[in-house]
């Protein structure tokens, strides 16, 4: 009984493996047909297009990361600005 189960399981696995191999061969054949007329000028154009898209994606990611990054608290900047203005006014009054 156990030997029969192992036999059927191995037969099923082999069948699935054969099916997957046939699908892979068919896909490789389709890729070969689609790139049959591809020449080096087309490859160079595609490479340039990919580089352009990559640069655009990097720029977009940098912008998104900048928008999501923690910013310096505006209150701290305003407090520093007010403090600097008070120092300048005080210096102006003493020196005037």
Tell me how crowded residue 9 is: count the other CB atoms within 10 A of its CB: 10
% of the chain at pLDDT higher than 70: 82
The tens digit of pLDDT for each residue in 42-72 reads 889 999 999 999 999 998 888 888 765 555 5
* Phi, psi (deg, nearest 5) at residue 69: -75, 150
Q: pLDDT value at position 64?
A: 82
Domain-wise residue ranges, the chain: 1-37, 39-96
Q: pLDDT value at position 96?
A: 47
Residue with tokens 């049959």: 36
- Res 20 pLDDT > 90: yes
Q: pLDDT value at position 31?
A: 92
Q: pLDDT value at position 33?
A: 92
Please indicate whether residue 9 or residue 61 has the higher confidence score (pLDDT). Answer: 9
pTM of the model: 0.43
Per-residue HEC secondary structure of the chain comes to CHHHHHHHHHHHHHHHHHHHHHHHHHHHHHHHHHCCCCCHHHHHHHHHHHHHHHHHHHHHHHHHHHHHCCCCCHHHHHHHHHHHHHHHHHHHHHHC
């Amino acid at each position: 009984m156990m030997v029969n189960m192992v036999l059927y399981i191995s037969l099923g696995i082999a069948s699935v493996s054969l099916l997957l191999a046939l699908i892979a061969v068919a896909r490789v054949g389709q890729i070969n047909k689609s790139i049959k007329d591809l020449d080096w000028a087309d490859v160079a154009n595609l490479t340039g297009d990919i580089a352009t898209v990559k640069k655009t994606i990097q720029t977009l990611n940098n912008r998104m990361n900048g928008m999501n990054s923690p910013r310096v608290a505006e209150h701290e900047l305003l407090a520093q600005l007010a403090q600097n203005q008070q120092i300048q006014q005080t210096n102006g009054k003493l020196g005037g």
